[in-house]
Amino acid sequence: MGPSFVFWGIWTALVGLCLTQMARSLLKRNDVLSLPFIACGIWLYFYGYMALVCAIQLSALMPTWTMELGEAVALFSLLGLLAGWYHPQKSPPGTNQGEVSPKMCERIWRIGLFLLLVAIVGQYTFFGHANIDYKNISSYWYLMFYVGYPAAALCILSIARGAPRRRLRRILLLGGLIVVLMWFHILNARRGPLLPMVIVLAYVPYLVAGKKPRRAVVATSLAVGGLVMLIFVWIRPYSYAPGGAVEWTIADQLNGWRVGLRHLSLDAVLGERQRTASDNEFLYHCGSIGTVWELGDYQYGTGYLELFVHWVPRQLWPGKPGLQEGFFPGHWMEEMPNVMGWRMSTGSSSGGVANTFEQFGVLCPLFWCGIGWWAARLYRESTRQRNLTRSFQYVGLLCAMHWLIAQGFGAMFVPACYCIVIPTVVLAYVRRQGRVRIVHHRQGALGLRRALPVTSRKFSDLSA
């Protein structure tokens, strides 16, 4: 038991790689919007800082080899992500798709506003039920919340490219709707939905406006967002209803926030939770990887294939497999107490790296390499060709990356589909409507010209 020299060597390499990549992104102004900057920041917290605290405080719960294996898998997965990002790519030929007319901005604003209202209504009507039957009720209405991210991004595009005289009141309206959308998650101290909205607000204005990003603004936004997420973790026990509570109102939650903030300290945010075994991301990461390795309990990627049919409602397919339930029987969670001596708490996650290890084993860095390659392609087309569609797709992928790294591909899949597909469809629709209007206008002008008498036609030609 306890960390070995091998573990500390791997840990040092991972921390050094993260810091180097983040410094490199900050030194180049455009690269502050790159995937390595935000991905290495999350990696540094989970597999750098939390690994350090766990190695010192919780090493008795992990065999030495599981700590070495868990840290090595995290390091090579990050190397795979960076290899995909920096892999040379030829930019495909294409025209500048960054031009948006004032009429297109108006249409985008109305569509974005409508989608934002759909997200708000979907969320509050779902959680407005006193009792929710999660096994039988469809989650699609609740999942409308994820529509809010691309909706806010579309509204930001309209504000940035639209008429300046309407900018202030639209900013105030959009800000108010975002607060309404996020209020439920803030009240319940849910950290997951916060970071994607920070990414939308910090990244979209620079990408759609074609301006060089302000490094201090982007880095500060992400740092503050990360700190608030850690505060949410501390506040959550105070804002949630205690066991046995018959009724828990908004007033009780606000009072819980006041009590939690009163006891808030730097050690509470950066030390106390990381020293706790329950719901500890790095501890669960090493435990799950070690158990899967011992049992050979791999899914060989079939758990991810199941996601393509998971959208079928359970009302239509009662025997639908569970989320990421692959073709091969998996029992590593049930066997974890026999291997590690403890089990994961209910509803917790082993993290995205461990999740990919369960699917692909030692080949999981190839999966991360594919993610890095895809993100790099979207980013280069967004910045070099001023392709608006690629800009929204890139931001959508970054929004979903938090769920991918913190929880896994299954948790990322639906938010990624919402955040990538919706703006792609909206921009394609708006552009098509613009082309149709231009064609109809030209056809109408040509028909009017042909209908004019010859003398009138000559007169109009001279007057032109």
**Tens-place pLDDT, residues 337-386:** 888 888 888 777 888 999 999 999 999 999 999 999 999 999 999 888 88
pLDDT at 446 over 80: no
SS3 content of the chain, % helix, strand, coil (to 5): 75, 0, 25
Terminal C-alpha separation, the chain = 89
Residue type, 68: E
Tens of pLDDT, residue by residue over 97-120, are 556 777 888 999 999 999 999 999
DSSP letter (8 states) at residue 334? H
* 240's tokens: 């949630």
Structure tokens at 178: 């975002």
**Exposed, middle or buried: residue 22 (CB in 10 Å: 0-12, 13-18, 19+)?**
buried
Tokens for 101, please give them.
């007319």
How far apart (Å, rounded) are the C-alpha atoms in residues 380 and 77?
22
Ranked by mean pLDDT, the top range of 32-46, 54-68, 335-349 is 32-46
Distances (CA, A) of 324 to 286, 321, 328, 413: 20, 8, 11, 11
Four-residue CA torsion sign, 22, 41, 290, 397: negative
Question: What pLDDT was estimated at residue 77?
Answer: 97
* Residue 427 burial (CB count, 10 A): 23
CB 97 within 8 A of CB 322: no
Residue 461 has pLDDT above 60, yes or no: no
Helical residues (DSSP H) of 244-300, grouped into ranges: 250-262, 266-267, 281-295
- CB of 370 closer than 8 Å to CB of 84: yes
Total H helices, total E strands in the chain: 19, 0
Nearest in space to 289 (alpha carbons), one of 323, 336, 330, 334 = 336
Neighbouring C-beta atoms of residue 13, cutoff 10 Å:
15
Q: What percent of the chain has pLDDT over 70?
A: 86
Residue 96 and residue 386 in contact, taking contact as beta carbons nearer than 8 Å: yes
Average pLDDT, the chain: 84
332 has pLDDT over 60: yes
Question: Residue 78's pLDDT is what?
Answer: 97
- Evaluate if residue 208 carries a pLDDT over 80: yes
Nearest to 282 by CA among 74, 76, 71, 51: 51
User: Is 70 exceeded by the pLDDT of residue 233?
Assistant: yes
Query: Residue 404 is encoded by which pair of tokens?
Result: 């991918």
The answer to whether 284 touches 342, Cβ cutoff 8 Å, is no
Return the axis-axis angle of helices 148-161 and 102-127, rounded to nearest 10°: 150
Which pLDDT score, from 0 to 100, does residue 158 have?
92
Confidence class for position 456, pLDDT limits 50, 70, 90 = very low
What is the predicted pLDDT for the residue at 82?
97
**Residue (of 272, 231, 121) closest to 184 by Cα position:** 121
246 pLDDT band, cuts 50/70/90, is low
pTM: 0.87
Residue with tokens 């790519």: 89
CA distance 292 to 354: 9
| Token couple for 314 | 């359970």
Answer whether 300's CB lies under 8 Å from 328's CB. yes
Mean pLDDT, range 38-65, rounded to an integer: 91
The answer to which of 167-171, 196-200, 303-307 has the lowest mean pLDDT is 303-307
Rg (CA), the chain: 25
- Cα 77 from Cα 408, distance rounded (Å): 13
User: With 60 as the cut, is the pLDDT of residue 93 above it?
Assistant: no
* Domains in the chain: boundaries: 5-439
Structure tokens at 251: 């007033």
Res. 459: pLDDT tops 70: no
Nearest to 235 by CA among 276, 275, 209, 273: 273
Q: What per-residue confidence (pLDDT) applies to 181?
A: 93
- Cβ–Cβ under 8 Å, residues 393 and 384: no
pLDDT for 394:
95
Q: Are 75 and 53 in contact (CB under 8 A)?
A: no
Residues in contact with 192: Cβ distance below 8 Å, sequence separation at least 6, in sequence order: 185, 402, 403, 406, 407
Structure tokens at 418: 């919402």
